[in-house]
Amino acid sequence: MSGARYIPARADLRVEPLEDLTLVFHRLSGETHILSPEMEMMFSHLPDAGIHPAGLLRTLETEYGAVEAEDGDALAVISQRLEELAALGLVIRAA
């Protein structure tokens, strides 16, 4: 389990939900990101104070009852997705 905590950079973002996709405009880079529904769900469940991948998995499990991954390891998928969001600057990785 990774020790990193992920904090959404909401102040730097403008989020516009469309039907199934979500557009996120990142003011600092001028980039617009299109999030898949799955990614949007993870992003929208990040508390402002930040959360560890395992914490996010628990949140989603509470909401959905069960979280399954095609690859078999839901925590690994969530960790990977949070890393992707961090690489884009949409979330900040705190130690």
Partner 1 sequence: MANETETPEGTSIDAEENARVASRRRVLKLGAIAVPAVATLSPSMAMANNGGGAAVSMMACQVRIPSRIDADGDVVPDNAHVFRQGGHWVYKKDPNSKQKTRVFRVGSNFSYSGQQIKDATAGGVINPPAGVGRHKFEAHVRYMQHVRSGNVPGAGLSCLVSLTNSLNVANI
What is the contact surface with partner 1 in residues (CB under 8 A)?
Answer: 27-39, 41, 60, 63-71, 74, 76-78, 80-81, 84-85, 88-89
Nearest C-alpha neighbor of 53 from the set 83, 31, 75, 25:
75
Phi, psi for 40 (deg, rounded to 5): -60, -40
Q: Closest CB to partner 1 among 47 and 63?
A: 63
Nearest-angstrom CA–CA distance, 74 and 6: 17
Q: Is the dihedral of CA 77, 11, 47, 2 positive or negative?
A: positive
- Nearest approach in angstroms of CB 91 to partner 1 is 12
Contact 75/57 with Cβ under 8 angstroms?
A: yes
Rg of the chain on CA atoms, in Å: 13
- Nearest approach in angstroms of CB 18 to partner 1 is 13
- Nearest approach in angstroms of CB 76 to partner 1 is 7
Q: Closest CB to partner 1 among 5 and 24?
A: 24
Q: Closest CB to partner 1 among 33 and 52?
A: 33
- Nearest approach in angstroms of CB 5 to partner 1 is 19
